[in-house]
Amino acid sequence: MNLLETLSHTVPATGMFANAWWMIAAPLLVAAFLLLAGRVADAWGHFVAVAAVVFSFSIAACLFGEMLGRGAEERAVESTLYTWFSVGTWTFDVGLQIDQLSILFAMLITGVGSLIHIYSIGYMAHDERRRRFFAYLNLFVAAMLTLVLANNYLILFVGWEGVGLASYLLISFFQHKKSAADAGVKAFVMNRVGDFGMLLAIFTMLAMFGSSKFSVVNAGVPEMPAIWATLLGVFLLLGACGKSAQVPLQAWLLDAMEGPTPVSALIHAATMVTAGVYLVVRSHVVYEHSMIAQTAVVVVGTVTLLAGAWIGTSQDDIKKVLAGSTMSQIGYMMLAAGIGPAGYAFAIFHLLTHGFFKANMFLGAGSVMHGMHDDVNMRNYGALAKVMRYTYWTFFCGYIAIIGFPLTAGYFSKDHIIEAAFHYNVVIGLCALIGAGVTAFYMTRLMFMTFWGKQRWQPGVHPHESPKVMTLPLVVLAALSIVAGALMNWWIQTWLEPAAGNHPHEVSLIPTPIGLLAIAVVAAGVATGWYFFGRGDIPKVAPASKNPFTLVGRNVLYGDQLNDAVIVQPTYALAAASDATDRHAIDGLFDGLAHGFGGLSTQVRKLQTGYARSYALTMTAGVVVTAVVLILAHLA
């Protein structure tokens, strides 16, 4: 069975699969209910929200179990729910595709989503707009599930926009703060740029294939002209860059940390920002037919993984360090997705493990903030390991997972990517290796500044452990951060093969030379982190620095300034020029014309003297002139 036959092979939805749409419907209905119910639901609304997500998770788990029981050929299920609309020869169906790839996503979204919902019960306990917060979270879960379960790009786009909306609403959830409101707008606007790419891609598909269904597109791509395959790939990549905060559309992610911490964990670490990776893997057939687009994905991924790591090294805000780290890790996934069939499974593997350990660390950061009066500056932390034992140990699990300590989740998933990158191109491989070292460095820095070292707390701050409802999800996620890699390492490649078209590789526990090199680089990164931040005291104020690397990192690679200079200012100038043209040239022309006629008529008006004799004179003169003309004409 060749690749394409595998791809288009889906079986109709029966039994449990026919009810899969409840996964999306439940959180959506609850979101609508919570928003409409009013204050009546203030006291208990969040429990309904949690129940909805847990319900979705149980459906996803049942479907997953059912798929495990089936043969590999019968796992991918497609069900058309109804026809949305038809225009001319185009018909758009609302349909779900539940295959090996989307079920993993659905499990991640609902599973991590459930834990984060539970955590939020504690985190948002004292917020008077808690009901609204949970409604938005449920809206997000519904939109994200729509995104990953859709069987065509148009429905995917509906989910794509839905998560964008939910992201906007949640980033600016603390709307009384101007910075939060601005950050929401920024994220939304920058995502629009990516959405523009998505729309172009969908238009291209409709023009080329007359349908946006995955199966039709996958079947049609091999026959389309190479230039169109490249364009399609680049359009999709633009969309992925916007949603996944990849260079050059990365600047919104750090500002998005203005949102409540559970939001950062769910949307801006575990799920939404990885939608770009999902899109690239889902569209892998397109990339396999365009070397240029594929290389573009690799370059974007590599640049972002280094850029994100760079940002992570010099921020003092704990959430911004984690945001930079998220960018960097998504860069790894993009890189893997761009490598081709060798990397798809690794991209998804890293995506899943990253979803666990990054959600874990974000929630841990939220727990730290909870105990530190919402202070996010790591220079005011220090020595928290003793007072927040659960938070510390769970965070530590995330820490060793992300740096790739042997046998933890990140060790399996990230090393595979580094290895695949080396096989693809030595330069790319070296960049990935450097990224791993820098990751170890900034995470060690974070650990020293937050949990180890001496206490530098602000006066009046008494750190304390968070309630059980918050630490319990942390424990679950910490366990997953440790074991998820080992659980999936031997299994995920064969599992994903029919859906992602990857080529399974032999993986073994004994590290390859590149694996050993990676461990050495990580150890060097940890040692550097200890050398700079573990030995002496950490100043309360970031020391002035002339080191260009530090300055660039602190200023988030001058992303805002660059956008301002390249996009915003020219747009303002264009607007000012348009305004001036309208005001002076166009209005001037017509106003001038009107004034001219006005002046002319003032002059002509003077002929109306009111003197009967002058009228008589004019009349006579007119008669004479007419007569003369007639006579002359007659003579001629």
Partner 1 sequence: MTNPENVLMLAGVLFTIGALGVMLRRNALVAFMCIELMLNAANLALVTGSTMNGGLDGQVASFFVMVVAAAEVVVGLAIIMTIYRTRRTTSVDDANLLKL
Query: Which residues are at the interface with partner 1 (CB under 8 A)?
Result: 605, 608-613, 616-617, 620
- Nearest CB to partner 1, comparing residues 612 and 635: 612
- Nearest CB to partner 1, comparing residues 125 and 621: 621
- Nearest CB to partner 1, comparing residues 509 and 616: 616
Least separation in angstroms between residue 599's CB and partner 1 is 15
- Nearest CB to partner 1, comparing residues 590 and 611: 611
Least separation in angstroms between residue 586's CB and partner 1 is 32
Least separation in angstroms between residue 603's CB and partner 1 is 12
- Nearest CB to partner 1, comparing residues 175 and 609: 609
Question: Nearest Cα to 263, choosing from 332, 167, 122, 190?
Answer: 167
Least separation in angstroms between residue 613's CB and partner 1 is 6
Rounded distance, CA 269 to CA 545, Å? Answer: 30
CB 355 within 8 A of CB 415: no
- Nearest CB to partner 1, comparing residues 179 and 601: 601
For residue 554, with 0-12 CB atoms within 10 Å meaning exposed, 13-18 middle and 19 or more buried, which class applies?
middle
- Nearest CB to partner 1, comparing residues 547 and 620: 620
- Nearest CB to partner 1, comparing residues 574 and 621: 621
Rounded distance, CA 142 to CA 484, Å? Answer: 25
Max CA separation in the chain (angstroms)? 121
Least separation in angstroms between residue 568's CB and partner 1 is 55
β-strand 77-87 against 11-12: which pairing, if any?
Answer: parallel
Least separation in angstroms between residue 581's CB and partner 1 is 37
Least separation in angstroms between residue 625's CB and partner 1 is 15
- Nearest CB to partner 1, comparing residues 535 and 605: 605
Q: Which residues of 260-272 are buried (b: 16+ CB within 10 A; e: fewer)?
A: bbbbbbbbbbbbb
Rounded distance, CA 293 to CA 217, Å? Answer: 16
Residues in the chain: 636
Q: Distances from the Cα of 464 to the Cαs of 149, 322, 517, in angstroms?
A: 41, 22, 40
Question: And the tokens for 71?
Answer: 């043969």
H-run or E-run covering 588: helix 587-605
Rounded distance, CA 501 to CA 261, Å? Answer: 36
Residue for token digits 């008589």?
616
Question: And the tokens for 317?
Answer: 């805000």
Least separation in angstroms between residue 192's CB and partner 1 is 58
DSSP-assigned letters across all residues of 233-268: HHHHHHHHHHHHT-TTS-THHHHGGGS-HHHHHIII
Least separation in angstroms between residue 601's CB and partner 1 is 10
CB 258 within 8 A of CB 167: no
